[in-house]
């Protein structure tokens, strides 16, 4: 009897972008703090270090391991571990990462490819992403786990991704 493994959920189609997705998760978590604190369109800066969600996370981390001052990111570089200063909860990073599914399209062979470079897209729109997630957090009592579990978070982030990607396309057309 021959065992044939079905690709019921089409995971094999993600082969060309799978490494990018894993790296992107670490990239978002590493750069979230910087993007949140960057000035927005009005020039207003964020203060992630002053937020309740982050203070609790840093204190809990210090209690578990006082030596663990840096957060390791294993997938950003194939040769070395990259360390960041600020721990960012999964409840903030995963909804952002899920928005990137809107930037995937199948090619002629059915394999998924990026419509645009996902890392550059985060660099360009990361401040908006980080602020949107933290605004959602405000409405859920500053609980990162609630943010990551709430379907409305994913709907809003997907809508924001779609809008920002289309706005970016429109700007590119005007420049040409």
Q: How many CB atoms lie within 10 A of CB 28?
A: 24
What are the domain boundaries of the chain? Answer: 13-175
According to the model, what pLDDT value does residue 101 have?
A: 93
Confidence of residue 7 (pLDDT cuts 50, 70, 90): confident
According to the model, what pLDDT value does residue 45 have?
A: 74
Looking at beta carbons, which pairs linking 104-108 to residues 24 or more positions away fall under 8 Å?
104/17, 106/13
Query: Which residue has better confidence, 24 or 7?
Result: 24
**Taking the CA atoms of the chain, what radius of gyration do you get in angstroms?**
18
Q: Is the pLDDT of residue 172 over 70?
A: no
Give the pLDDT confidence of 40-64 residue by residue, as tens digits.
777 777 667 655 666 655 566 566 6
Using the structure block, give the residue that is written with the tokens 């020039």: 43
Mean pLDDT of 24-37: 92
Q: CA 152 from chain center: how many Å?
A: 16
Rounded CA-CA distance 125/109 in Å is 30
Give the pLDDT confidence of 103-152 residue by residue, as tens digits.
999 999 999 999 999 999 999 999 999 989 888 888 877 788 888 898 99
According to the model, what pLDDT value does residue 23 have?
A: 96
According to the model, what pLDDT value does residue 176 have?
A: 40
Lowest mean pLDDT among 13-17, 78-82, 94-98, 139-143: 139-143
Rounded CA-CA distance 68/176 in Å is 49
Query: Which residue has better confidence, 43 or 91?
Result: 91
pTM comes to: 0.81
Looking at beta carbons, which pairs linking 16-23 to residues 24 or more positions away fall under 8 Å?
16/111, 16/112, 16/113, 17/104, 17/112, 17/113, 17/114, 20/114, 20/118, 21/97, 21/100, 22/75, 23/75, 23/76, 23/119
Q: How many CB atoms lie within 10 A of CB 127?
A: 20
């Amino acid at each position: 009897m021959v065992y044939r493994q079905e690709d019921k959920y089409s995971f094999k189609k993600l082969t060309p972008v799978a490494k990018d997705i894993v790296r992107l998760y670490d990239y978002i978590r590493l750069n979230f703090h910087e993007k949140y604190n960057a000035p927005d369109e009005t020039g207003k800066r964020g203060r992630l270090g002053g937020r309740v969600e982050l203070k609790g996370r840093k204190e809990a981390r210090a209690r578990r391991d006082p030596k663990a001052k840096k957060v390791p990111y294993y997938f950003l570089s194939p040769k070395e571990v990259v360390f960041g200063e600020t721990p960012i909860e999964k409840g903030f990073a995963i909804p952002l990462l899920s928005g990137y599914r809107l930037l995937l399209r199948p090619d002629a062979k059915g394999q998924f490819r990026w419509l645009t470079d996902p890392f550059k897209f985060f660099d360009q729109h990361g401040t908006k992403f980080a602020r949107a997630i933290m605004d959602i957090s405000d409405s859920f009592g500053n609980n990162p786990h609630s943010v990551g579990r709430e379907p409305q978070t994913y709907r809003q982030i997907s809508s924001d991704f779609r809008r920002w990607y289309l706005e970016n396309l429109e700007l590119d057309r005007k420049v040409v």
